[in-house]
Amino acid sequence: MAGQVDALFWFMFSVSALICLGVFGAMLVFVVRYQRRPGNEVAQRLGPTTRLELSWTLIPLGLALVPFVWGAKLYLDMARPPDDALEIYIVAKQWMWKAQHPEGQSEIDELHIPVGRPVKLTMISQDVIHSFYVPEFRIKADLLPDRYTTTWFEATRPGEYHLFCAEYCGTGHSRMTGRVIALGPAEYAAWLQGGPTLSPADQGRRLFQQLGCAACHETGLAPNLQGLFGQPVTLTTGQTVTADETYIRESILDPGAKIVAGYQPIMPSFAGRVNDEQLLQLIAYIKSIGPQPGGQPSGGPPPPGPALTPLPTPAATGGQAP
Amino acid sequence: MAERRTTLSGRSAVPTAPGLGGHVAAERPPALAEHFETLEQQHGVNALGMLVFLGSELMFFGMLFTVYTAYRLRYPEAFAMGSRHLDLALGGINTAVLIISTLMMALAEHSALRGERRWLPRYLALAILLGLLFLGIKGLEYYHHAQEQLLPGFAFSFSGPAAEQVQLFFLLYYAMTGLHAVHLTAGIGVACVMLALAWRGGLLGAEHWPLEMLGLYWNFVDIIWLFLFPLLYLVGRP
Amino acid sequence: MSVEDRNARGEPTTSPRTALVVCAALLILTGVSIAVAHLALGGWNALLTLLIAAVQAVLIGAFYMRIRYAHGLPRLVVVAALLWFAILLAGTLDDVLTRGWVPVLGK
Amino acid sequence: MSATTLPAPASYATVSYGLRSWLLTTDHKRIAILYMISITVLFVIGGLAATLMRVELLTPGGRLMDDATYNKLFSVHGIIMVFFFLIPSIPTVLGNFLVPLMIGARDLAFPRLNLASWYIFMLGAAFMLWAIFTGGIDTGWTFYTPFSTSSSTTKVVPALLGIFISGFSSILTGLNFIVTIHRMRAPGLTWFRLPLFLWSLYATSVILVLATPVLGMTLVLVALERVLHVGIFDPALGGDPLLFQHMFWFYSHPAVYVMILPGMGVTSELIAAFTHRQVFGYRFVALASVAIAVLGFLVWGHHMFVAGMSVHAALIFSILSYLVAIPSAIKVFNWTASLHRGAISLDTPLLYALGFVGLFTIGGLTGLFLAALAIDVHVTDTYFVIAHFHYIMVGGMVMAYLGGLHYWWPKITGRLYPEIWGKLAALTVFLGFNLTFFPQYIMGYLGMPRRYHVYPAEFQVFHVLSTAGASILAVGYLLPLVYFLLSLWHGQQATANPWGATGLEWQTSSPPPPHNFVDKPVVTSEPYNYPTREPAHG
């Protein structure tokens, strides 16, 4: 991706340089040549200008479409992470970065990634707006406090790269920096070994039990979460929303906001009881029991709790959790 | 200099006013400010100035309308809930009050133009009184909200789901109706000055233009309310 | 051309009779608006009530503010202000309403 | 009769004396002088902040001051320069002075409102300075929420109030210009006979009148949110921080055109005057100003491509951003074509105008890079953006302002400035500017983020170059300040029309009498009607 962005950049640079050369060269020549002096006391009368005007209106207009289409295509690619991307969660706060790997490692102000594999970041801020910027990969994305944003990249060479916060976030803004460390596959595997602990999805499952979510969500009082993630959900208002990260987060923190059709608003708010990292773990768990590319729900961990009885789910894929 | 004199004439256009630099032309009407040529020009300047000003005002409210629309589309339920806490009867009465005050203003303008010295102060006073009545009813509504603990930032408690989003509705409600009330108050203030002038026999005939400016402004404030009313009071009523 | 001329030609003024009729129309429309809001129209209420408000605004603009009698310039000012408001609204809603369109999240 | 052959009437500057006669004046020319003094002082304050920042950035480690101080400095620099220098600069100084003169009127349509605008502006500036000197402000000039509403502990509310108040000054000035240009033109001065400066000021005024209110209300809501701890843009309370950015940029992007359009107008005047002919494609240049004012309102979203805006909106705003580049390109090509077979006098104002065209071209072209979505993702919020908008605002607007000041200085003061020093200063500004800001393009593309107090050592070389350039630039700005002031006492007396230019403002004495014209002007010819020769062949 970085190479493609550079290609567009140098294309635009070349065209711009040509335009500059043309305009500046013409200005210079005219200024030298048409000095006011004896023999050139007055300017030549202007002829009709319309044809020239139209040409330098329409030609730039056509020319402008090239970088637009090119830039838009790359932007769309940036907005759509590949399906096989490694998903890492990022939580930012004044003034540090925290990364959580699917295998369980978490790190601060550093991000270890494997070379040659797309990495998708799902990110949120705990306070003000930050922006995740790695110049080497030509990517930048703001982290918002109220919903998840994503970006993705693929490192091609092992090495250490700058990580900057690019959106001004207060006193320590310029110190909110870090390193992205791209490792070869073997080194990355070795690095993963160094870390302990449960994957976010496992931690999420544990939280799910600890917080008592299962008491309703696995008994029919509240929508079943199996196979839910990424599916459309019909609300009491008749609207349909997609059960994505932001919706799940909202449902945990503000359960009354969007209630699934067919259920009562009985769920208490968990705002203040779970922090952003735990939210991400819960989401990772719900994701892990979501629809799998292969077809059947649930890939990694086994379905928690007792065997599931058929539930009065309003939508075919199950409802969401108020 | 000479060659440009041929291209841009510096000669006088108005033979009757040869020296605007120092002398005052004899037939200048007293109402004509010294930097204008004719009363018609002055009138056009004032009317256009007021219209452009109102265009600017529209964007003040437009910003609030836009924010309101964005949040209402995002939280339709909460906004309906918030709206149902407003007093539709008082809101409806207030709408009628403002519409009638606008009629009074139109009649006042008309009698000023016609030189009807007896009627002008009466219509104007009625418009002012109706404006004050509107503010009074609005104040009564605010008082009710305060009793119901619906004052974001001071005392806000809302039982039921999505309290924060209902609070957002009330914030925008206060911002929009508050800005409107500020505008109406300013209009009433100016109208009082005009009433004093009209009482002494001013503003009649050719001198009626300040009243026309006030009328434009008054009508604008009315139009804003006519949109605020359905946006704020008529949500989620079925 | 002085202001009195305009008056004599009847151009810039609305007769009291017309003003009364317009006022009555405004009041009736307000009543209609309240009634419409109470019908079960499934979401169309808001649009209808705003449409009524727009009709009321046009009535006030045309008759009380005399845009009806005005020539190009005042109309241009009104159109410009409305256009700019429309730009603000459209651009903002274009973002707000389409944030979920490209399935970036949860893909 | 020519003003020069009559016994000279008292000029606006000498018709009465005393502070009172200036502070209570309704003469547009005196108000222009009041503005000139005010914004010069504010420019110096904003410039001092920039100087301190540039000195600090000589070293990567941030040794001179702490983080908080640096953040306050760039905020002060941005707020003062944008809201209290660039936006008022050409409109309130040159515009105030010249609009009535150029259309042959005795004053603006609302002279008292004009004076009120200045007082409102000063009140806003006073609030701003109070905020700066009693604790400072660290939000940047963009006031992004939720940082400005819930995180910053500095004097945000007084600063917001200062900008809010000065906004009314902008609105009233714009209103005054619009009405004046519509209703006060001399007989015969049709729209397509207007000087191009007035077309651009008219377009600017439309922006001021229609965009400023949106910023005003937005700032009020931010202040409310801060004082009452309620959430309008605060996500913790159900608000949407992106909505703030929409409202902010709806004003602040068109505000960029408020800063550049008057500069374009001045440049058109200068090019016409010093090539001694009409600007090539007069109608296209005139209508391009209007097109910029309209299209400029359709592109604000390009500040938000990485902010979490919807992809759909990003695509729309990207393509619209290319559209607004077209009228700007038209202007550049027309200015260049105007030089062709002209009769060029390379005086100081033209040097500034040529500098404007060159720097604006570079700034405009790099703006296209920022409109290309994928490139914007990389370079937004880096020094690339800093360089881009300084090429437009400093390279463009300040150059044009200085060029305009030199051109109309004889008209404003009745004195000539020293031409040699003028040329020297123009060259110094041009060189210093490029040395300051061109390296910033490079380090921006290499990834140096903006608003960074400490930075990786690899960027130091560019920062050193930039600081060196800034020192030269500072000298370039000080020179005119000195020789302009000296010329008031020692300058040669100016005639009514020292440049031999067309335009009604040159038809009256220098400096003009209180009511501008002894005889009511009538326009009977096309604009810029210089004598010309026929094409050599054909």
Question: Domain spans of chain D?
Answer: 19-507
| Length of chain A measured in residues | 322
User: pLDDT value at position D8?
Assistant: 55
Selecting from B21, B167, B171 the residue whose C-beta is nearest the C-beta of D515 gives B21
User: Which range, of A118-127, A211-220, D79-88, averages the lowest pLDDT?
Assistant: A211-220
- Nearest residue in A to D343, CA atom: A36
Write down how long chain D is.
Answer: 538
Cβ separation of B66 and C88 shorter than 8 Å?
Answer: yes
Q: Which residues of D204-214 are buried (b: 16+ CB within 10 A; e: fewer)?
A: bbbbbbbbbbb
Mean pLDDT taken over chain B: 85
| Residue B9: CA count within 13 A, CB half-sphere | 12
Q: Which among D516, D513, D460 has a CA at the least distance from the CA of D57?
A: D460
D210/C84 Cβ within 8 A: yes
Residue A208 has pLDDT above 80, yes or no: yes
Q: Do the chains contact at C102 and A79, CB–CB below 8 Å?
A: yes
Domain ranges of chain B: 64-233
Identify the pLDDT of residue A151: 94
C-beta atoms surrounding A186 within 10 Å = 9
Q: Is pLDDT above 80 for D256?
A: yes
When pLDDT is cut at 50, 70 and 90, the band that residue A293 belongs to is low
Mean pLDDT of A33-46: 89
Domain boundaries, chain A: 86-194, 200-288
Looking at residue B185, what is its pLDDT?
97
pLDDT at B91: 95
User: Which is higher by pLDDT, B77 or D159?
Assistant: D159
Higher pLDDT, D473 or C40: D473
Task: Decide if pLDDT at C81 tops 90.
Answer: yes
| β-pair partners for D415 | D493
CATH number of D19-507: 1.20.210.10
User: Which tokens in the block code for residue B167?
Assistant: 């609070």
Mutate to test the interface with B, among C2, C15, C26, C83 (most CBs of B within 10 A): C26
Mutate to test the interface with B, among C48, C56, C67, C76 (most CBs of B within 10 A): C56
Which three-class secondary structure state does DSSP give residue A111?
strand
What distance in Å separates the CA atoms of residue A126 and residue A144, rounded to the nearest whole number?
A: 8
Query: What secondary structure, in 3-state letters, does chain C show?
Result: CCHHHHHHCCCCCCCHHHHHHHHHHHHHHHHHHHHHHHCCCCCHHHHHHHHHHHHHHHHHHHHHCCHHHCCHHHHHHHHHHHHHHHHHHHHHHHHHHHCCCCCCCCC
Strand partners, A120: A87, A152
Which chain C residues are Cβ-neighbours of A244 within 8 angstroms?
Answer: 100, 105-106
Q: Which chains touch B (3 or more CB pairs under 8 A)?
A: A, C, D
d(CA B133, CA B140): 10
Examine the pLDDT at B153 and tell me if it is beyond 50.
Answer: yes
**Backbone phi, psi, residue A96, to 5°:** -150, 160
Q: Is residue A283's pLDDT more than 70?
A: yes
Q: What is the pLDDT of residue D228?
A: 87
Q: Report the C-alpha gap between B60 and C11 in whole angstroms.
A: 31
Q: State residue D262's pLDDT score.
A: 97
Span D41-61, average pLDDT: 95
Pick the CATH number of A200-288 from 3.30.70.3450, 3.30.70.20, 1.10.357.10, 1.10.760.10: 1.10.760.10
> Which amino acid type is present at position B111?
S
Is the pLDDT score of D473 beyond 60? yes
Question: In CATH, what number does B64-233 get?
Answer: 1.20.120.80
Return residues 188-217 of D near B (CB < 8 Å): 209-214, 216-217
C100 shares contact with chain A (CB less than 8 Å): yes
- Using one digit for the tens of pLDDT, what is the confidence trace for A146-186? 889 999 999 999 999 999 999 999 999 999 999 999 999 98
Count of CB atoms situated within 10 Å of the CB of B192: 14
Domain borders along chain C are: 1-65, 71-99
> Which of A237, A254, A259 lies nearest to residue B76, judging by beta carbons?
A237
Closest in C88, C96, C100 to D250, CB measured: C88
Which residues numbered 178-207 in B keep a CB inside 8 Å of some CB on D? 179
Nearest CA in chain A to C107: A230
Q: Is A207 exposed, middle or buried (0-12, 13-18, 19+ CB in 10 A)?
A: middle
pLDDT tens per residue, range A237-264: 777 888 888 888 888 888 877 888 888 8
- Contact between chains at C74 and B51 (C-beta distance less than 8 A): yes
Residue C3 has pLDDT above 50, yes or no: no
* CB contacts < 8 A (A, C): 27
Rounded to an integer, the average pLDDT of A49-56 is 89
B·C CB contacts under 8 A: 143
Q: How many angstroms away from the CA of D11 is the closest CA of chain A? A: 33
**Chain B positions in Cβ-Cβ contact with residue A259 (cut-off 8 Å):** 161
Q: Does CATH place domain A86-194 in 2.40.128.110?
A: no
Q: Is D231 in the B-facing interface, judged by CB distances under 8 Å?
A: yes
| High-pLDDT (> 90) share of chain D, % | 89
- B-chain CB neighbours of A265 within 8 Å are 161
Q: What is the pLDDT of residue A268?
A: 80
Sign of the Cα pseudo-torsion (D218, D219, D223, D226, in order) = positive
Which residues in chain C are closer than 8 Å to B56, comparing Cβ atoms?
Answer: 81
Place of tokens 């006022």: C23
Q: Which residues of D touch A79 (CB under 8 A)?
A: 311
User: How close C63 comes to chain D (CA, Å)?
Assistant: 24
Residue A214 has pLDDT above 80, yes or no: no
Q: What is the pLDDT of residues D390-425, one digit of tens each?
A: 999 999 999 999 999 999 999 999 999 999 999 999
pLDDT band at D1 (very low <50, low <70, confident <90, very high): very low
* Token pair listed for D131: 């905020």
**Residues ≥6 apart with Cβ < 8 Å to D505:** D98, D101, D102, D408, D411, D512
pLDDT number for residue C12: 58
**CB contact at 8 A, D183 and D196:** no
CA B27 vs. chain centroid, Å, equals 35
Candidates B4, B65, B173, B174: best to mutate against D (most CBs of D within 10 A) is B4
- pLDDT at residue D253, as a whole number: 95
CA–CA separation, D443 and D463 (whole Å) = 9
Alpha-carbon dihedral sign for residues D338, D343, D346, D347: negative
Chain C residues with beta carbon closer than 8 angstroms to that of D297:
84, 87
The sign of the CA dihedral C4, C7, C9, C12 is positive
Q: How confident is the model at residue C69 (pLDDT cuts 50, 70, 90)?
A: low
Q: Give dist(CA D265, CA D289) in Å, integer.
A: 8
pLDDT at D328 over 50: yes
What mean pLDDT do residues D210-227 have? 94
CA torsion angle B197 B202 B204 B206 (round to 10):
-110
pLDDT band, very low/low/confident/very high, at D62 (cuts 50, 70, 90): confident
Closest-CA distance, D314 to chain C, in angstroms, reads 8
CA pair distance A61, A50, nearest whole angstrom: 16
**CA–CA separation, D286 vs D264, rounded Å?**
10
Spatial distance between the Cα atoms of D427 and A181, rounded to a whole number of angstroms:
47
Who contacts A66 (Cβ-Cβ below 8 Å, separation ≥6)?
A11
- Higher per-residue pLDDT: A101 or C101: A101
Backbone dihedral region for residue D308 (phi beyond 0: left; psi -120 to 50: alpha; all else: beta): left
The predicted-structure confidence for B196-233, as pLDDT tens digits, reads as follows 999 998 888 778 888 989 999 999 999 999 999 999 99
pLDDT at B12: 35
- Using omega within 30 degrees of 0 as the cis cutoff, is the peptide bond preceding A293 cis? no
pLDDT of B169 reads 93
A150 membership: H or E segment, kind and range: strand A149-153
The better pLDDT of the pair D150, B177 is held by B177
- Strand B155-156 versus strand B150-151 pairing type: antiparallel
pTM for the full model?
0.88
Residue D453 pLDDT greater than 50, yes or no: yes
**Closest to C87 (Cα-Cα) out of D126, D211, D356, D339:** D211
Mean pLDDT on A10-15: 95
